[in-house]
Amino acid sequence: MGKLIGILTAGGDTPGLNAAIRAIGKAAIGVYGMEVIGFRDGFRGLMENRFIDLDSKALSGILTVGGTILGTSRDKPHKMQVGSKIMDMTDVIVDNYHKHHLDALICLGGGGTQKNAYHLHKHGLNIITLPKTIDNDVAGTDVTFGFDTALGIATEAIDRLHSTAHSHHRIIVVEIMGHRAGWLALGAGVSGGADVILIPEIPYDTDVVVESILQRSRAGKNFSIVAIAEGSESKNIHTLRLDLEKKLKETKDLSEQEKIKNDMKDINSLHANNTIRLAKKLEEITGLESRVTILGHLQRGGSPSAADRLLATRLGTAAARLVHEGQFGIMVASKGKKAVPVPLEKIVGKKKTVPLHHPWIESARFVGTCMGDNLKG
């Protein structure tokens, strides 16, 4: 009898998940004679032992479909809500793994999933992960599947916003996802010809942004497109956050720690409306009407791009091969043209952010894009 592997998808839904499931399953069944089951709704489904057989019929016709046929959730094995309590369900998950006599568990997800999968690996499970997220912020891999599709959607949105901004002489501020990494906003901003691009890696000076827009206005360009990553923040807020984080590390006083944590929560609440506040301020100072477009979960949906289908298929088939070879405790990463195993211990807890001298940033500056600071190309 061949090996039996389980698959689950965790975290946010991402284009390309079904392509990866299909690739793992078809390679495992067709090439290596394995059997495959899928657990529903991430780690929660594994805990509750909810699964389906992933045979050839189940894997047929899903390559082009967005989302995930298995469903997903953000539940953590060691911090899972059960009724009204938050409980450590690691032992239950380990038991279910062994009850199925699984030879391996393949977890598809972003940074949080890598961490949760590594937690299970340390409890004796044979784990392999695949990196997926539209944020492209998983360490150890050149790119994550889902990113290219979201990049195309965000770029098309900016393209469409150009016409209405030009027609009405407006400032259009478009908020793009990406969590605390600027890959998506930067890529879409450069591709879509945004006039201002604001990313978390470069805290912005509002006065610099205002001056950039006023310069365009003085040159006869009565509209501007501002692409802002959801995690971007002003220099003032960024400095305040860093000061609080430093104080929290240095203080031993529990009451002082609690006060600092509350102050940090206030900053996070303030940040929730950051894009809208910025748009209002730009309108007040420049005299140009401003409008806000928040793309939100629109960027997660739809059929995966050709690039994401190729990447998911490449990584998925490599995962099946690595199970056959008995390599575990790894993430299958994209490195150049190769799919290579990277030890989970080297990537968990790390985030891949945009380097300040990345070619995309340098190119943006050279074409005159304002990055929210005073630096030029």
d(CA 353, CA 184) in angstroms, rounded, equals: 11
Q: What SS3 state is found at 186? A: helix
Compute the distance between CA of residue 114 and CA of residue 118 in angstroms, rounded to an integer. 6
Query: Average pLDDT, stretch 274-285?
Result: 92
Identify whether 372 is part of a domain: no
Mean pLDDT confidence for 13-19: 95
Range of the domain at 229: 149-300+356-366
DSSP E strand stretches across 186-329 = 196-198, 224-229, 290-294
Instruction: Examine the domain organization and report whether 28 and 44 are in the same domain.
Output: yes
Give the domain CATH number at 293: 3.40.50.460
Element (H, E) at 376: none
Asked whether residue 173 is domain-assigned, the answer is yes
What local confidence, expressed as pLDDT, does residue 297 receive? 86
Q: Give the global pTM.
A: 0.93
Q: Do 91 and 209 belong together in one domain?
A: no
User: Is 57 within the bounds of a domain?
Assistant: yes
Same domain, 82 and 187: no
Residue 109, beta-bridge partner list: 131
Distance CA 243, CA 235 (A): 12
Q: Are residues 17 and 52 in the same domain?
A: yes
Do 182 and 276 lie in a common domain? Answer: yes
Report the pLDDT value the prediction gives residue 1, as an integer from 0 to 100. 61
351 within domain boundaries: no
How far is the C-alpha of 330 from the C-alpha of 279, rounded, in Å?
Answer: 44
Maximum separation of any 2 CA atoms in the chain, in Å:
75
Catalytic residues: 135
pLDDT, one tens digit per residue, over 257-271 is 899 988 888 888 777
User: Which amino acid is it at 377?
Assistant: G
Give bridge partners of residue 87 from the DSSP assignment.
80
Q: 280 lies in a domain?
A: yes
Q: Nearest to residue 21, comparing CAs of 316, 276, 295?
A: 316
What would the pLDDT profile of 135-186 be if each residue is shown by its tens digit? Answer: 999 999 999 999 999 999 999 999 999 888 878 788 999 999 998 999 999 9
- Give the pLDDT of residue 82: 92
Confidence of residue 377 (pLDDT cuts 50, 70, 90): low
Same domain, 29 and 141: yes
The pLDDT of residue 298 is above 90: no
* 377 in a structural domain: no
Q: Are residues 140 and 157 in the same domain?
A: no
Same domain, 27 and 67: yes
| Angle separating helix axes 235-250 and 254-271, nearest 10 degrees | 160
CATH code of the domain covering residue 11: 3.40.50.450
220 and 176, same structural domain?
yes
Is residue 270 within 8 A of residue 237, CB to CB? The reply is yes
The answer to whether residues 254 and 138 belong to one domain is: no
Six token digits for residue 178 = 């990406």
Mean pLDDT of 25-38: 97
Question: For 239-248, how does the pLDDT look when each residue is reduced to its tens digit (9 = 90+)?
Answer: 888 899 899 8
Distance CA 65, CA 61 (A): 8
Q: Are residues 293 and 312 in the same domain?
A: no
Counting the structural domains of the chain, the total is: 2
Query: What is the number of other CB atoms lying within 10 angstroms of the CB of residue 283?
Result: 16
The predicted-structure confidence for 48-100, as pLDDT tens digits, reads as follows: 999 999 999 999 999 999 999 999 999 999 999 999 999 999 999 999 999 99
Residue 371 lies in a domain: no
Residue 241 placed within a domain: yes
pLDDT single digits (tens) 119-132: 999 999 999 999 99
Per-residue confidence (pLDDT) for residue 2, from 0 to 100: 83
Residue 272: predicted pLDDT: 78
Say if residue 192 is in the same domain as residue 243.
yes
